[in-house]
Structures are given as structure tokens and as C-alpha cells.
């Protein structure tokens, strides 16, 4: 019998879930940006700045399209795969009914977020006449999760998948929060992010509670195996290969002299070193602390590789 103290978030979901409570976000016709300029370093390159505000707007719109594309992949292919398997009782660990029921509410929320994102993408496209360039078919997690699971014995894979999703759900909450506070972007983009944040706040505590229940009820061998696999997962998750590839495609789509194009590509920022100071890592370590992982000596020590 597993030990747990878990109370369903269902009453809060019924009254506050955005699918239950928010009107459709409609794009407005103002001069504000579609995407925060500080999130797209390409716009700050002098050779791009020289090309003027229309090119800047084009880059920001394409970057919003990629952000939306990433959200759709994340919600429907990553989070919902795990949440649905928990909800249906197919997960290797036997979560209490209240957890499974709440996992199904997460599935609904995430599908709705993907729907809202698609609706908004379509509105931007109609308003601006700018079609998306070729979008990535994967996000970092699409590679990081299967690669990490492949290093583990079958019996440890579900637990690792749970941790990977819980980590990334906590990361996206922080990211969407930062986005929703930005003052330079359109009210409707901010509104869409604020709606998303309202649901993700509930999700991040849901995943923390699930990991806590899971982690405190598994045997020591499982904790050791998963704890040892975490650094590899984080290395794979925090790469920027896919973003860099997209940025290169974006530079190719802009009309500019070939020599400038080469210079811009050569100056593209390489990834942040993956240390504890990495902007996403700070948040990830807060999650490890909140979910009890750092109370486990061997896991704490395995994470010491990130100094």
C-alpha cells in the first residue's frame, strides 16, 4: 500500500481552469511586438538591425510561430503522453484515484492550450499575411526523454519519464510567467500567456506532489538508477541544437547580402554552459528540492556534476 496525502485539485479546476472560465483571445491591431525582442538575440545583431523594423517584425513573428509550435508539441506529445498513461492506470506505479483523475484534467488543459495556440497562430497569420517558415518537428524533450529512457532498465523507465515531465512542466511554468510579464508585447499574446500560466501553476504543483508520492514509495534501487540518469537527461534537455537550426533557417529566409548572412550565422550565440547557473537550471534545482529528490544523498551527489 503506498503512502500518500493527496487531495484532488478538482474543485479548483472546475472554477478556474481556463477551458472552463476564459473567453477567446483575439488579436488586436496595435504597434506592439508579437514576441519579446530579448528572447531572440538575432534581432540585436547590428547587420539585422540595419535591415530595419519590417525585418525585425518578421523575425519576431517567426519566433512566436516557433514558440507556439513548441508548445503544441510539448503539450500533446510529451506531457499528455505521460499524464494520460497515469490517468488510465497504465503507469507502472499505482497512483491513487485522485491523482489519476487530476492527471486527466491535465490532459484536457494541455490539449486546450494546444488549441488556443493554434487559434492564435492562425489569427497572426491572417492579420500579417506572414506564413511560418518550416517549423521543427521536434523539441529538445522529444529527443532527451527517449535517449535517457534507453539508458535505463525497463522497470525504471516510467519513473524517469515522470521526472522528465515534472521537470519540464516546472520549467515551462517559469518561462510562461516571464513571458506574461513582458511589457513590450501585444496584450493578446500576454493574455494568452497569462491564461496558460493560470493552468500551469496548478500543474507544476500537481507534478511536484506526484513526484513526492512516487519518490517516497519506490525502493532504493529505483532511486539510485533514476538519480544516476538525471544528469544525462538534463544535458540532453538543455541543448540548443534545435533552436540554432531554426535560427539558421530564419536567417536564410531573410533577404540580405550573402556575406552579411554568413557573418550573422558566425556570430550566433552558442548554447549556455550547462551549470547550476544556467537560467533554467536554477528553477530545476528548486523543483528537485521541493519534490524531495535532494534529500536522497546519492541523487544529490550525482547532480553535483553541475557546478
* Grid cell listed for 273: 554552459
Rg (CA), the chain: 20
Which residue's Cβ has the minimum distance to Fe ion? 203
Least Cβ distance, residue 51 to Fe ion (angstroms): 34
71: cell is 508548445
Q: Which stretch binds Fe ion (CB under 5 A): 55-63, 122-130, 196-204, 291-299?
A: 196-204
Closest separation in Å from C-beta 191 to Fe ion? 15
Q: Are 92 and 78 in contact (CB under 8 A)?
A: no
Measured CA to CA, the distance from residue 207 to residue 252 in angstroms comes to 40
Q: Which is nearer to Fe ion, 9 or 113 (CB)?
A: 113
The span from the CA of 163 to the CA of 80, in Å, is 14
DSSP code for 202: H
Q: Name the segment binding Fe ion (CB under 5 A); options: 38-46, 83-91, 129-137, 199-207.
A: 199-207
> For residues 151-170, which are near Fe ion according to CB under 5 A?
169
Nearest-approach distance from CB 198 to Fe ion, in angstroms:
10
What's the closest the beta carbon of residue 159 comes to Fe ion, in angstroms?
A: 19
Minimum distance from residue 112 beta carbon to Fe ion (Å): 8
Verify binding: residue 209, Fe ion, rule CB under 5 A.
no
Q: Do residues 263 and 257 lie in contact, with contact meaning Cβ atoms separated by under 8 Å? A: no
The contacts of residue 237 (CB under 8 Å, 6+ apart) are 140, 141, 144, 164, 167, 168
- Pick from 186, 190, 203, 223 the residue near Fe ion by CB under 5 A: 203
Residues 208, 287 contacting (CB under 8 angstroms): yes
Q: Does 113 bind Fe ion (CB under 5 A)?
A: yes
Stretch that binds Fe ion, among 52-60, 84-92, 113-121, 286-294 (CB under 5 A): 113-121
* Residue of 273, 236, 77, 241 lying closest to 148 (CA atoms): 236
User: Closest separation between CB of residue 214 and Fe ion, Å?
Assistant: 18
Residue 102 or 200: which CB sits closer to Fe ion?
200
Contact positions vs Fe ion (CB under 5 A) = 110, 113, 169, 200, 203
Amino acid at each position: 500500500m503506498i503512502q500518500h496525502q493527496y487531495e484532488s485539485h478538482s474543485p479548483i479546476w472546475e472554477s478556474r481552469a481556463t477551458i472552463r472560465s476564459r473567453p477567446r483571445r483575439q488579436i488586436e491591431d496595435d504597434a506592439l511586438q508579437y514576441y519579446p525582442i530579448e528572447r531572440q538575440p538575432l534581432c540585436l545583431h547590428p547587420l539585422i538591425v540595419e535591415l530595419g523594423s519590417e525585418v525585425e517584425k518578421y523575425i519576431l513573428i517567426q519566433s512566436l510561430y516557433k514558440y507556439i509550435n513548441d508548445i503544441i508539441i510539448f503539450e500533446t506529445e510529451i506531457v499528455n503522453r505521460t499524464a494520460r498513461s497515469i490517468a488510465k492506470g497504465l503507469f507502472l506505479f499505482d497512483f491513487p484515484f485522485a491523482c489519476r483523475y487530476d492527471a486527466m484534467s491535465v490532459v484536457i488543459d494541455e490539449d486546450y492550450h494546444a488549441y488556443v495556440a493554434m487559434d492564435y497562430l492562425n489569427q497572426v497569420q491572417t492579420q500579417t499575411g506572414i506564413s511560418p517558415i518550416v517549423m521543427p518537428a521536434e523539441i529538445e524533450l522529444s529527443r532527451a526523454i527517449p535517449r535517457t529512457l534507453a539508458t535505463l532498465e525497463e522497470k525504471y523507465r516510467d519513473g524517469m519519464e515522470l521526472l522528465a515531465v515534472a521537470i519540464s512542466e516546472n520549467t515551462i511554468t517559469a518561462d510562461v510567467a516571464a513571458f506574461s510579464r513582458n511589457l513590450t508585447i501585444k496584450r493578446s499574446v500576454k493574455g494568452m500567456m497569462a491564461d496558460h500560466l493560470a493552468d500551469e501553476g496548478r500543474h507544476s504543483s500537481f507534478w511536484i506532489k506526484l513526484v513526492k508520492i512516487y519518490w517516497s514509495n519506490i525502493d532504493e534501487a529505483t532511486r539510485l538508477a533514476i538519480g544516476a540518469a538525471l544528469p544525462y537527461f538534463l544535458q540532453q534537455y538543455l541543448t540548443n541544437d534545435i533552436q540554432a537550426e531554426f535560427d539558421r533557417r530564419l536567417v536564410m529566409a531573410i533577404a540580405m547580402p550573402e556575406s552579411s548572412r554568413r557573418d550573422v550565422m558566425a556570430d550566433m550565440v552558442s548554447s549556455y554552459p550547462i551549470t547550476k547557473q544556467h537560467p533554467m537550471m536554477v528553477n530545476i534545482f528548486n523543483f528537485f528540492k521541493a519534490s524531495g529528490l535532494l534529500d536522497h544523498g546519492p541523487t544529490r551527489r550525482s547532480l553535483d556534476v553541475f557546478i
